[in-house]
Structure 1
Amino acid sequence: MSLLFIAAILGLIPAFIAQSKGRSFGAWWLYGALLFIVAIIHVLVIPSDSTTSINSSDSRSCPFCAEPIRRQAIKCKHCGSEVLPAPALQDEGDGTQISWRRLAALALAIIITGLIIHALKLD
């Protein structure tokens, strides 16, 4: 049981690093719990999963020429017309924040697994 508990705790290290780089927390936790040494080296080497291109939520159409411009733009780069800045969208996060619900579910799963293993050893 102690080996499983230690593996689960060690798996959190690459999972948090990967999540800060925009990767899947759960997949990296499993990877880290099973192959910690390989996973920690791998997560330190991989680049951040950030995109620099303009996605649909960052752009809008110019009211004069209908070309795509940034939401914050006050002047269209295509036709030169002055436009009112669009209201800011609510930020959903960039994937680098810790998901506390996921962490709580993971901790609960570890505790339940430990209790089941402990109960099986008593029988």
Structure 2
Amino acid sequence: MTLLILAAFLGLITALIAQSKGRSFGAWWLYGFLLFIVAIVHVLLVPSLRTATSKSHELRDCPYCAEPIKLQASKCKHCGSEVVPLPSKAETHGDGTKIAWNRVAVLALSVGITFIIIRFFGVK
């Protein structure tokens, strides 16, 4: 019984790492629950699905000459027109790593209910 609870929490480790890389929380939790040693190595080696901000994403078109300029530019380097600077995408969206606390709560609740059922109803 203690082994099941330990396996559930070890599966949570792989699921949280996978979620931060843009992967499925539930699938990686199950994978970590069943095969923690393999899953932890796998999740550390798997590439992130989150796209890194590159310079091509930090550009916009000038409203006057349609040439690409930086988001924070206040003057177009091609035509010299004044433009309104925009915040970068990294500033508006944060770092992109958010933990889905509702999934963590559901997982903790299911582990707790499983523990109660095993403890009080004598499932052996």
- TM-score computed with the length of structure 1 as normaliser: 0.70
What is the CA RMSD across the aligned residues, in angstroms? 3.0
Match of 2:116 in 1: 115
Query: Measured at CA, do residues 66 and 3 of structure 1 come closer, stay the same or move farther in structure 2, by a change above 3 Å?
Result: same
Equivalent residue pairs, number? 120
Q: Which moved more, 1:72-81 or 1:102-111?
A: 72-81
Query: Measured at CA, do residues 4 and 79 of structure 1 come closer, stay the same or move farther in structure 2, by a change above 3 Å?
Result: farther
List runs of 5+ in structure 1 lacking aligned partners.
none
- CA positional deviation for 1:26: 2.3
Give yes or no for contact 1:22–1:48 (8 Å, CA) kept in 2: yes
State how 1:1-123 maps to structure 2 within 5 Å. 1-52=1-52, 60-66=60-66, 69-76=69-76, 79=79, 81-86=81-86, 91-121=92-122
Give yes or no for contact 1:22–1:95 (8 Å, CA) kept in 2: no
- TM-score computed with the length of structure 2 as normaliser: 0.69
- CA positional deviation for 1:61: 4.2
For 2:7 and 2:48, the matched residues in 1 are separated by 25
List runs of 5+ in structure 2 lacking aligned partners.
none
- CA positional deviation for 1:92: 4.4
Residues 34-88 of structure 1: per-residue CA shift (max 9 Å, x gap): 1111101101212233323556xx6654321345655333344665533111256
% of aligned pairs identical? 63
